[in-house]
């Protein structure tokens, strides 16, 4: 008998009988195609072969918006230490309604083929059997699939956003999921707490002291510039502006215009009275926060700062879609003003021409100029024309 043959056969039988657990399982949700989780920012931009159109940073996470591709809007998140952690692709607003369900189905099938060993959670529920995207947007249906990798706990989701009826394809690491939960925890805790009893009398509202970056983003390092600050004071705190513009304010004033992480910041500085107005605006609300949610968050933040002030205006969005897009299309209105006792104001609005959300803090000096000067009357007329009001 051939001993060597029997030895080889015994080895083969032993290998065949080895338990499957001895083989190390491998993660399958590892990033976007060949772009792996943990990749540095430079690696991400090289992979995309372009510079981001805009970016914003929050709590160490930078969200980079890239040019539209394959009918989707792409946002990639890179953490300062953990690297590439998340991406989100959302169908463009111009996607035809009849194509939307097909796009959703294509992405679902693609993920089912790619992660065929993972059973997804969720599904579709469309009792009326109408156009799935329109039914979800109307609140009559739901459509969401989520795959979770059992090895690295990364996730992949395809869903139709109830806020606007658009298709979303997103993937994220477990680290990003924890990061988002920590970011949202204060708001969730505030919502879970029972409302405090109303005080006997509302506290007096404090007049806005000037620009404070925490009004826009309370988690970033504070940059505060008081009303009356000179141009040199603004530049010392914020750096040299990308543009100095006098077209909208007249010969005695200048708009110092800055661009920071997808945000526009404008300081209006008077020749003798100093800084009299400051505003933040952005067209990129955030990768995971639709316009409607961001508007409500900013509204609540301003209202909390001025509890004794009754604001004028509000938001009117009859179709219930994405507020920024509806305002830009002329189908909605979103503008609120909190007047303060000293004649100043805080102004929150969605721009009709840009669809950007902006917050402006103005002093009494600004309003006196706006209401009485020829330049102010001209600007008011331009604002009325832009808003389409008589």
117-146 pLDDT, tens digit each:
999 998 999 998 999 999 988 889 899 999
One domain, residues 259 and 365: yes
Q: Is residue 7 part of a domain?
A: no
Residue-level pLDDT at 322: 82
Q: What is the pTM of this model?
A: 0.47
pLDDT at residue 335 is higher than 60: yes
Q: Is residue 203 part of a domain?
A: no
Q: Is 330 within 8 Å of 352 (Cβ atoms)?
A: yes
Q: Is residue 182 part of a domain?
A: no
Per-residue pLDDT tens digits for 215-246: 777 666 678 888 899 999 999 888 888 988 87
Cα dihedral 106→111→117→123 (10° resolution): -70
Q: Give per-residue burial for 64-95: e unless 16+ CB within 10 Å, then b.
A: bbbeeeeebbbbbbbbeebbbbbbbbbbeeeb
Q: Is residue 75 part of a domain?
A: yes
CA distance 64 to 85: 12
Q: Is residue 344 part of a domain?
A: yes
Q: Which of 265, 163, 144 is nearest to 211 (CA)?
A: 265
pLDDT at residue 284 is higher than 50: no
Last residue of a domain, one of 115, 150, 176: 176
One domain, residues 167 and 231: no
Is the four-CA dihedral 157, 158, 160, 163 of positive or negative sign? positive
Can you read off the two tokens belonging to residue 16? 């065949």
One domain, residues 244 and 293: yes
Number of compact structural domains in the chain: 2
Residue-level pLDDT at 21: 45
Q: Is residue 310 part of a domain?
A: yes
Q: Is residue 10 part of a domain?
A: no
One domain, residues 271 and 325: yes
One domain, residues 160 and 215: no
CA distance 324 to 164: 11
Lowest mean pLDDT among 59-63, 83-87, 259-263: 259-263
CA distance 137 to 127: 14
Domain residue limits at 250? 210-387
pLDDT at residue 203 is higher than 80: no
Residue 385 Cα distances to 289, 314, 352, 380, 382, angstroms? 30, 19, 10, 9, 5
Residue-level pLDDT at 342: 73
Residue-level pLDDT at 199: 44
């Amino acid at each position: 008998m051939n001993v060597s043959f029997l030895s080889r056969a015994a080895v083969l039988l032993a290998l065949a009988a080895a338990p499957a657990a001895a083989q190390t399982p491998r993660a399958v949700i590892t990033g976007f195609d060949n772009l792996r989780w943990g990749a540095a920012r430079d690696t991400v931009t090289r992979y995309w072969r372009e510079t981001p159109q805009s970016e914003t940073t929050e709590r160490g996470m930078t969200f980079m918006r890239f040019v539209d591709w394959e009918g989707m809007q792409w946002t990639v998140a890179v953490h300062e230490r953990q690297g590439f952690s998340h991406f989100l692709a959302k169908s463009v607003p111009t996607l035809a309604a009849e194509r939307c369900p097909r796009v959703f189905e294509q992405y679902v099938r693609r993920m089912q083929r790619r992660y065929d060993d993972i059973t997804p959670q969720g599904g579709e529920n469309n009792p009326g059997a109408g156009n799935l995207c329109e039914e979800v947007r109307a609140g009559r249906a739901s459509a969401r699939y989520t795959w979770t990798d059992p090895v690295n706990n990364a996730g992949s989701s395809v869903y139709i956003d109830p806020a606007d009826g658009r298709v979303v394809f997103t993937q994220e690491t477990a680290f990003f999921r924890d990061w988002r939960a920590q970011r949202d925890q204060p708001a969730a805790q505030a919502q879970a707490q029972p409302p405090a009893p109303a005080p006997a009398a509302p506290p007096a509202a404090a007049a806005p002291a000037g620009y404070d970056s925490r009004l826009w983003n309370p988690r970033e390092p504070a940059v505060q510039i008081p009303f009356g600050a000179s141009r040199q004071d603004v530049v010392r705190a914020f750096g040299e502006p990308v543009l100095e513009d006098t077209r909208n304010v007249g010969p005695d004033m200048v708009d110092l215009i800055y661009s920071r992480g997808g945000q526009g910041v404008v300081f209006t500085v008077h020749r003798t009275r100093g800084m009299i107005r400051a505003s933040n605006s952005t067209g990129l609300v955030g990768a995971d926060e639709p316009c409607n949610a961001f508007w409500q968050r900013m509204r609540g933040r301003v209202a909390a700062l001025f509890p004794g002030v009754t604001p004028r205006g509000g938001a009117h969005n009859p179709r219930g879609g994405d507020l920024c897009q509806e305002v830009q299309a002329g189908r909605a209105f979103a503008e609120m003003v909190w007047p303060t006792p000293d004649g100043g104001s805080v102004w929150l609005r969605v721009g009709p021409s840009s669809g950007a959300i902006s917050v402006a803090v103005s002093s009494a000096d600004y309003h006196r100029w706006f209401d009485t000067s020829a330049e102010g009357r001209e600007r008011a007329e331009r604002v009325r024309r832009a808003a389409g009001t008589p």
